[in-house]
Amino acid sequence: MNQKLHPILIQAVVTGLISIFGDNRYADKAIEHLLKSNPKWGSRDRAFIAETIYDMVRNWRLLWFLAAKEVDLQQDSLYKLFGVFWLYKGNVLPNWDIFKNVQLRKSVEDAEKIPAIFHSFPDWLVSMLENDLGEANIREVAALNKQADVVLRVNTIKKSKKELMVLFAQEKIEVAEIPTFPDALLLKKRQNIFANPLFQKGFFDIQDAGSQAISAFSEVEAGMRVIDACAGAGGKSLHLAALMQNKGRIISMDVEEKKLTELKRRASRAGANIIETRLIESSKTIKRLADTADRVLLDVPCSGIGVIRRNPDAKWKLSPTFIAEVQVKQSEILQSYSRMLKVGGVLTYATCSILSAENGKQVQAFLQQNGDKFAFIEDKNILPSEGFDGFYMAKIRRNS
C-alpha cells in the first residue's frame, strides 16, 4: 500500500471492525453505513477504508496470532491490531504513540504450520471441510481467503459480448474473456463500475462466473415457462431471461418482498420484460403453480461457504447449528417446490456451498424419498480453487 496513514482513516477502520465483530453487522452493510457517515472522504480514502476492513476481517485470526493476543474489541487494541496488519503487509508504521511497541510478536512462518490460523478459519469449519474433502480442504480454504475477482455478465438482451468489449475499450476499461463462461468478462482493475453509464443502461451486471454457470446449466430455451423459486434480488433470473432471448415467461419468487422490489428495478434496467415477480406468502403460493413449469431453479438458502471470499465475516458468524438447520430447510424446499414442475420438466437444485451434506447428499435423499417420480440427470461442482466462487448444481427430471 502506498496510502499515507491518517488517524481519521484508521479510526474509520476501527469503527468498522467494532460494528462487524461487536455489533454483529454484515461487513458490506457496516462498511456502506460507515462510508455514508462522512461524504467528504474522497474515492481513494473510501477505497482504503473498505479494502482495509475487508482485508483485516479476511485475516482476522492470523492478525491476532501475529500480535500474540486474544481477540479484544477495545479501541486501543484494534488500533494496535491495525499496526500489526500494516507491518504484516510490509509497510512501515509512523512514529505515533498509539503504535509504540507494536510489532509482529509471532512469525508468519509459525502461522503457516497451522492452516486454520494462516488462512484465518475457525477450527470446526476446517474440520468439517476436511471430513468432506480430505487433504484438498486446505487448497479450498486457501482459495476462500483470497480477495474475489470482479466478474461481469454481459446482458445479451441489449448487447453482444463483442459489442460491449468495444464500448469498454472506448472508455479505457480493461476486461478479459473467461474461457468456458460465454457471457462473462473479468474486470482487470477494481473500480466503482456501478457508476459507469454502460451499467446504468443495463448492458451488463455483476455476477460471479460460478453463479453464471447455474443458469447455463439449467438449459432453458426461448418460449419456456421457468420458475426461479428462490430468486432473491434476481441475478440468475436476469441471466435466464437473456438465455431465453427475452421470450417466454419467468416467474421469480421469494419470501422477501424487498428483494423482489430490487429484482423489478434490475429487470427494468436490463430490459428483461419476461420476468414476473411473485411473493411466496404461504404454501398456497406454491400449490397454485403445481405442474406448470418447464424448468424450476431452486437456488436454495445455504451456508454460503462457497462465497466466503465475498463475505469474509461469514466464517466467523457461521455455526454448526446453523448449517444443520439450513439443511432441514433445503430438504423442505426441494420436496415442496418440486411440485411446480411439469411431467418431463427439469429442476435445477443449486447452492453456494461446497459441503456434500448441502449438495449431493440432499439430492440423493430427495430421489430416495420420491421413488421413480424423479430421475437424476447430472450434477456439477465448482470449487473455489478453480478461481471463482464455489457452487453446486444438479439437474433432476420429473418422470411422472
CATH number reported for the structural domain that contains residue 282 in this entry: 3.40.50.150
In a shared domain, residues 176 and 226: no
Looking at residue 181, which CATH number applies to its domain? 3.30.70.1170
Give the span between the Cα atoms of 181 and 278, in whole angstroms. 30
pLDDT digits (tens, 9 = 90+) for 46-86: 999 999 999 999 999 999 999 999 999 999 999 999 999 99
Residue 126 lies in a domain: no
Residue 3 has pLDDT above 90, yes or no: no
Looking at residue 85, which CATH number applies to its domain? 1.10.940
In a shared domain, residues 174 and 235: no
Catalytic residue among 17, 102, 230, 352: 352
* Average pLDDT of the chain, as a whole number: 96
pLDDT digits (tens, 9 = 90+) for 175-233: 999 999 999 999 999 888 888 999 999 999 999 999 999 999 999 999 999 999 999 99
Q: Give residues with Cβ within 8 angstroms of 294, minimum separation 6.
A: 220, 224, 225, 226, 342, 345, 346
In a shared domain, residues 331 and 217: yes
Residue 1 has pLDDT above 80, yes or no: no
Name 347's bridge partners.
Answer: 296, 396
CB 287 within 8 A of CB 339: yes
249-254 and 225-228 strand pairing: parallel
In a shared domain, residues 76 and 42: yes
In a shared domain, residues 159 and 194: yes
Residue 385 lies in a domain: yes
Banded pLDDT at 8 (limits 50, 70, 90): very high
Which of 365, 352, 363 lies closest to 392 in space, CA to CA?
352
Give the span between the Cα atoms of 398 and 349, in whole angstroms. 13
Examine the residue annotation and report whether 302 is marked as an active-site residue of this protein.
Answer: no
pLDDT digits (tens, 9 = 90+) for 77-111: 999 999 999 999 999 999 999 999 999 999 999 99
Domain boundary among 159, 179, 206: 206
In a shared domain, residues 193 and 215: no
Banded pLDDT at 132 (limits 50, 70, 90): very high
In a shared domain, residues 231 and 352: yes
In a shared domain, residues 184 and 97: no
- Measured from the Cβ of residue 34, the count of other Cβ atoms closer than 10 Å reads 20
C-alpha cell of residue 59? 485475516
Considering its fold, how many domains does the chain have in total? 3
Residue 169 lies in a domain: yes
pTM, entire model: 0.94
Percent of the chain scoring above 90 in pLDDT:
96
Residue 142 lies in a domain: no
Distance, CA of 46 to chain centre: 22
Residue 2 has pLDDT above 60, yes or no: no
Residue 133 lies in a domain: no
Given this model, what pLDDT does residue 198 score? 96
In a shared domain, residues 245 and 380: yes
CA atoms within 13 A on the CB side of 376: 16
Residue 309 lies in a domain: yes
Tell me the residue range of the domain where 160 lies: 151-206
In a shared domain, residues 232 and 171: no
CB 241 within 8 A of CB 266: no
Residue 144 lies in a domain: no
Residue 4 has pLDDT above 90, yes or no: no
In a shared domain, residues 268 and 334: yes
Which is more confidently placed, 127 or 43?
Answer: 127
Residue 139 lies in a domain: no
In a shared domain, residues 214 and 237: yes
| Inter-residue long-range contacts of 69-77, CB under 8 Å, 24+ positions, other chains counted | 71/21, 73/17, 73/18, 73/21, 73/22, 75/14, 75/18
Residue 326 has pLDDT above 80, yes or no: yes
C-alpha cell of residue 170? 472506448
Give the span between the Cα atoms of 321 and 200, in whole angstroms. 41
Percent of the chain scoring above 70 in pLDDT:
99
pLDDT digits (tens, 9 = 90+) for 385-397: 999 999 999 999 9
